[in-house]
Amino acid sequence: MLGVFCTSGALALDRRAAAGALGDAPLRFGLTPVFLDSDAHLLTILERYLSARLARPVQLTKRRTYQEITTLLLTGQLDAAWICGFPYVQFRSQLALVAAPLYRGRPLYQSYVIVQAGDPVSGFDGLRGQVHAFSDPDSNSGFLVTRHLLATRHETPASFFRRSFFTYGHRNVVRAVASGLAQSGSVDGYVWDVMAESEPDLVGQTRVLHRSAPLGFPPIACQTARLGSPLVRELREAFLGMDGDPDGREVLRLLRLDGFAGADPSLYDGIAALYDAVRTAS
């Protein structure tokens, strides 16, 4: 045990020394709306965990849209960000994978099309002429998957739905459908599942009409040129080792995740295929 303690202490001292050599520059980490809502408790613990592991300040940056965070990441104003698989696919030549979350043991999730609980519609085609809520134009689960379903029918949102709109948040899609503001919506299945546990009265007013095939879970990414940097390597280690730390385990518990793992670009080939098919149909 003493040897383990000494090794851990040496690693911590090495991190502090490295951070001091860099002037204690903060880690700038971005969060898109794919991340569950701005739970202050969760964000505080995540910031505390990353700051301790990296031995430097951490700045968590949130924006309303996926595009804003992606732009900050691509222009070097963020060191890394938890983004959606769709922006990763769109900028695959400029972005590299740092880690992918494990949800129910796999780095995969699904997109759901939801309707009001009492709606008798039995299939996707029954949504024709409805008002539909999307999450974000750069969301895989909240837009691209449904856009692909429409493309296979030689339809677009404008031709198929009476009206559609973006809520800029998966929780907002659920709220829109539950309240009747929209009759149907496209939502991240992971978010819907977690909300079913934490907000059962709200989610109980909706039901899942359609589930997509499993697709790559929204990853943590950085600029390709920064992947080998000491800071990003340490960030990757922090996420991969999250289940070995009390604060890290609390973050995972709050997020209902099993942990994080390394990710191969091929994990997002399914999303890339959807994107290619939609572009071809346009």
Contact by Cβ (8 Å): 263, 97? yes
- Angstrom distance (rounded) from CA 121 to CA 201: 21
Which amino acid is located at 213 in the chain? A
- Angstrom distance (rounded) from CA 87 to CA 138: 6
Contact by Cβ (8 Å): 226, 125? no
Residues ≥6 apart with Cβ < 8 Å to 20: none
Q: Which DSSP symbol is given to 213?
A: P
Summary mean pLDDT of the chain: 90
Structure-block tokens of residue 204: 């109980």
Q: What are the tens digits of pLDDT across the range 125-163?
A: 999 999 999 999 999 999 999 999 999 999 999 999 999
C-alpha distances out from residue 255 to 45, 190, 279, Å: 12, 10, 33
Q: What are the tens digits of pLDDT across the range 176-193?
A: 999 999 999 999 999 999
Q: Which DSSP symbol is given to 268?
A: G
Global pTM reads 0.89
Q: Is the pLDDT of residue 54 over 60?
A: yes
- Angstrom distance (rounded) from CA 140 to CA 144: 5
- Angstrom distance (rounded) from CA 197 to CA 204: 10
Structure-block tokens of residue 160: 């198929």
Q: What are the tens digits of pLDDT across the range 68-84?
A: 999 999 999 999 999 99
Residue 94, phi then psi, degrees to nearest 5: -110, -10
Count CB neighbours of 199 within 10 A: 14
SS3 annotation, 123-171? CHHHHCCCEEEECCCCCHHHHHHHHHHHHCCCCCHHHHCCEEEECCCHH
Report the pLDDT averaged over residues 266-274.
Answer: 98
Any idea what the Cα angle at residue 248 is, between residues 200 and 262, rounded to 5°?
95
pLDDT number for residue 41: 86
Any idea what the Cα angle at residue 269 is, between residues 214 and 231, rounded to 5°?
100
